[in-house]
Amino acid sequence: MTYCVAMKLDKGMVFMSDTRTNSGVDNVSVFSKCHTWTFSGDRVITLLTAGNLATTQSVVSELDERSKAPEDRLSTLAGEPTMFRVAQLIGEVLRDVIQRNADTGQRADSAFNATLIVGGQIGTMEPRLFLIYPEGNFIEATADTPFLQIGETKYGRPILIRAYDPGMSFEEAIKLLLVSFDSTIKSNLSVGLPLDVQIHEAGVFAPRPSFRIEANNEYFASISDGWGEALGSALSQLPDFTL
Amino acid sequence: MTYCVAMKLDKGMVFMSDTRTNSGVDNVSVFSKCHTWTFSGDRVITLLTAGNLATTQSVVSELDERSKAPEDRLSTLAGEPTMFRVAQLIGEVLRDVIQRNADTGQRADSAFNATLIVGGQIGTMEPRLFLIYPEGNFIEATADTPFLQIGETKYGRPILIRAYDPGMSFEEAIKLLLVSFDSTIKSNLSVGLPLDVQIHEAGVFAPRPSFRIEANNEYFASISDGWGEALGSALSQLPDFTL
Is A27 in the B-facing interface, judged by CB distances under 8 Å?
A: no
Q: Can you tell me the distance from the alpha carbon of A236 to that of B237, in angstroms, rounded to the nearest whole number? A: 14
Q: Is residue A117 part of a domain?
A: yes
Is A108 in the B-facing interface, judged by CB distances under 8 Å?
A: no
Q: What is the DSSP letter of B167?
A: T
Q: What is the CATH number of the domain that holds A52?
A: 3.60.20.10
Query: Can you give the pLDDT at residue A206?
Result: 84
Q: Can you tell me the distance from the alpha carbon of B240 to that of B243, in angstroms, rounded to the nearest whole number? A: 10
At B149-182, the pLDDT tens digits run: 999 999 999 999 999 999 999 999 999 999 999 9
Contact assignment for B157 to A155 by CB distance below 8 Å: yes
- Cβ(A155)–Cβ(A184) below 8 Å: yes
**B residues 205..224 contacting A (CB < 8 A):** 208, 219, 222-223
Contact assignment for A226 to B239 by CB distance below 8 Å: yes
Q: Is residue A241 part of a domain?
A: no
Nearest to B240 among A162, A171, A186 (CB): A171
> Which residues of chain B are within 8 Å of residue A178 when distances are taken between CB atoms?
241
Residue of B154, B131, A15 whose CA lies nearest to A7: A15
In chain B, the number of structural domains is: 1
> Which residues of chain A are within 8 Å of residue B238 when distances are taken between CB atoms?
175, 179, 222-223, 226-227, 230
Burial class of B25 by CB neighbour count within 10 A (0 to 12, 13 to 18, 19+): exposed
* Phi then psi dihedrals of residue A241, to 5 deg: -80, 140
**CA distance to partner chain B, nearest, from residue A34 (Å):** 18
Max distance between CA atoms of chain A, in angstroms, equals 74
Contact assignment for B239 to A219 by CB distance below 8 Å: yes
The residue in chain A having the minimum alpha-carbon distance to the alpha carbon of residue B243 is A171
Residue B214 identity (one-letter amino acid) = E
* ipTM for this model: 0.90
Average pLDDT rounded to a whole number, residues A33-53: 94
pLDDT confidence bin for B110, thresholds 50/70/90 = low
At A135-193, the pLDDT tens digits run: 999 999 999 999 999 999 999 999 999 999 999 999 999 999 999 999 999 999 999 99
Nearest to A231 among B159, B172, B219 (CB): B159
Query: Can you give the pLDDT at residue B16?
Result: 98
Q: Is residue B195 part of a domain?
A: yes
Q: What is the DSSP letter of B206?
A: S
Q: Is residue A179 part of a domain?
A: yes
pLDDT confidence bin for B89, thresholds 50/70/90 = very high
Is B237 in the A-facing interface, judged by CB distances under 8 Å?
A: yes
Query: Can you give the pLDDT at residue B24?
Result: 83
Is A242 in the B-facing interface, judged by CB distances under 8 Å?
A: yes
Burial class of A120 by CB neighbour count within 10 A (0 to 12, 13 to 18, 19+): buried
- C-alpha neighbours within 13 Å on the C-beta side of residue B181: 29
Bridge partners of A12, per DSSP, are: A9, A201
The residue in chain B having the minimum alpha-carbon distance to the alpha carbon of residue A179 is B235
Nearest to A157 among B187, B228, B231 (CB): B187
Query: Can you give the pLDDT at residue A37?
Result: 95
Region of residue B151 (left: phi > 0; alpha: psi -120 to 50; beta: else)? left
pLDDT confidence bin for A41, thresholds 50/70/90 = confident
- Cβ(B8)–Cβ(B147) below 8 Å: yes
Is B235 in the A-facing interface, judged by CB distances under 8 Å?
A: yes
Q: Is residue A90 part of a domain?
A: yes
Return the percentage of chain B with pLDDT > 90, whole number. 83
Q: Is residue B240 part of a domain?
A: no
Q: Choose from B149, B235, B237 for mutation: most chain A CBs within 10 A.
A: B235
Q: Can you tell me the distance from the alpha carbon of B120 to that of B201, in angstroms, rounded to the nearest whole number? A: 10
At A115-132, the pLDDT tens digits run: 999 999 999 999 999 999
Contact assignment for A156 to B158 by CB distance below 8 Å: yes
Nearest to A162 among B163, B227, B238 (CB): B227
Residues in chain A: 243
**CA distance to partner chain B, nearest, from residue A85 (Å):** 31
Lowest-confidence segment of A65-69, B58-62, B105-109 by average pLDDT: B105-109
> Which residues of chain B are within 8 Å of residue A170 when distances are taken between CB atoms?
243
**CA distance to partner chain A, nearest, from residue B102 (Å):** 26
The residue in chain B having the minimum alpha-carbon distance to the alpha carbon of residue A230 is B234
Preceding amide of A194 cis, omega within 30: yes
Average pLDDT rounded to a whole number, residues B85-95: 97
Is A235 in the B-facing interface, judged by CB distances under 8 Å?
A: yes
Q: Is residue A240 part of a domain?
A: no
Look over chain B and give the mean of its residue pLDDT values, rounded to a whole number.
93
Query: Can you give the pLDDT at residue A108?
Result: 57
Q: Is residue B199 part of a domain?
A: yes
At A64-115, the pLDDT tens digits run: 999 888 777 789 999 999 999 999 999 999 999 999 887 776 665 568 899 9
Q: Can you tell me the distance from the alpha carbon of A199 to that of B153, in angstroms, rounded to the nearest whole number? A: 32
Q: Name the residue range of residue A98's domain.
A: 3-232
Q: Where are the beta strands (DSSP E) in chain A?
A: 3-9, 12-18, 20-22, 28-30, 34-39, 43-51, 114-122, 128-132, 138-140, 147-151, 195-201, 211-213
At A179-230, the pLDDT tens digits run: 999 999 999 999 999 999 999 999 999 878 999 999 999 999 999 999 989 9
Is A12 in the B-facing interface, judged by CB distances under 8 Å?
A: no
Measured torsion, CA atoms of residues A81, A87, A89, A90, in degrees rounded to the nearest 10:
140
B35, containing H or E segment: strand B34-39
Degrees to nearest 5, angle at CA A88 with A85 and A89: 90
**CA distance to partner chain A, nearest, from residue B239 (Å):** 7
Contact assignment for A163 to B232 by CB distance below 8 Å: yes
